[in-house]
Amino acid sequence: MADIEKLMSVDDADIEKFMGVSRADIEKIMGVDMPSLVNAWQGDRGVFGGGYTGSAYVNVMDYVSIASLNNAQDFGDLSNTMWYCRAESSGASGRIVFYGGNDGSSDIAQIDYITTASTGNAQDFGDTHATGSAHGASSNGTRGVFSNGVGGRNGGDSTAYGYITFSSTGNASTGGNLHAGSNLGGCGNSSRALFAGGANSSGLVNTVEYFNITSTDDGTDFGDLTSIRNAFDIATNRTKAVVVGGQNASATLDSMDNMTIASTGDATDGGDLSSIRNRTSTVDHNSSSVFWGTTSVHNTGQLDTLNIANNSTADSSYDRFAAAGGGGASGT
């Protein structure tokens, strides 16, 4: 088991290098396919928290099974209203944190956490590195990284990201700087954090940056999104990243962008969602993703599905409690 746990936070090439055998041999010996092993720290339970119903800001958390989607079920409550918060997960070790947000009148510095497998109210983890909302987020299962959030959904020039260690409660520490402060999308793999788009005081951007997630380095240029956008999340199977909806300076978007996390280069067109989606939040397990976000047509908590491998999406008939503007992450 110790060996398996060690392998959970590395990519295919690292596993082959460490074990001195090919991918095929690993799959044969361990009785698993490599994608399942590499992404094992993700999980089938997706938990959403916070948001806005269209008439009220909420602290509600609810959960779904990503593999067998149905209406979200009540999980418990966050310690505060957390609109425009972000969430990240330690995956198989069973902890999700909800970071920052807005209580309906001002930004807050709260970090809450839950044990993914057990329903109940969130507990206090500590304080964010800066009081803000509309963060982007990335995780390698051990460390969670969150963009600044100062200036909230309107953007700002405070660009230092914060980071936490999932296993140890306490206040977030401050890392290096990114290209924008808020409304970025984030994702990552075992070694790399990726942040894209967002807003600063000059407006929306299409910049993509990356850094070693175990470091406190500044972001390094990765490439550009196909267009400027903010207020989106990124679905990922830890190899491929899919930008899901968002908005530009004048409209809510129905488009997706594709990126390969381990490489660099401009994003490519990933096709269209089934409808426009803004303020999206995703929960992912292997190549299956469930996401939610507001539209001008369906301003409710409708849950949609995405196959990360081939970018196929579908509306579902299922919902969560809030319309948009909360955080989501998956675990076991």
Which top CATH class is 42-331? mainly beta
Confidence of residue 17 (pLDDT cuts 50, 70, 90): low
pLDDT of residue 27: 45
Q: Does the pLDDT of residue 302 top 90, yes or no?
A: no
pTM of the model: 0.87
Q: What is the mean pLDDT of the chain?
A: 87
pLDDT of residue 33: 42
pLDDT of residue 315: 86
Of all residues in the chain, the percent with pLDDT exceeding 70 is 85
Contact 238, 189 (CB under 8 A): yes
Q: What is the pLDDT of residues 27-64, one digit of tens each?
A: 444 444 444 444 455 789 999 999 988 788 999 999 99
Buried residues in 68-78 as b, exposed as e (16+ CB within 10 A): ebeebeebbbb
Q: What is the pLDDT of residues 86-139, one digit of tens each?
A: 999 998 789 999 999 999 899 999 999 999 999 999 999 999 999 999 999 999
- What are the boundaries of each domain within the chain? 2-36, 42-331
Confidence of residue 255 (pLDDT cuts 50, 70, 90): very high
Q: What is the pLDDT of residues 175-228, one digit of tens each?
A: 999 999 899 999 999 999 999 999 988 889 999 999 999 999 999 999 999 999
- Tokens linked to 103: 């209580």
- Tokens linked to 214: 């175990």
User: In terms of DSSP H, where are the helices of the chain?
Assistant: 2-7, 12-19, 23-30, 34-38
Burial of 84 (0-12, 13-18, 19+ CB in 10 A): buried
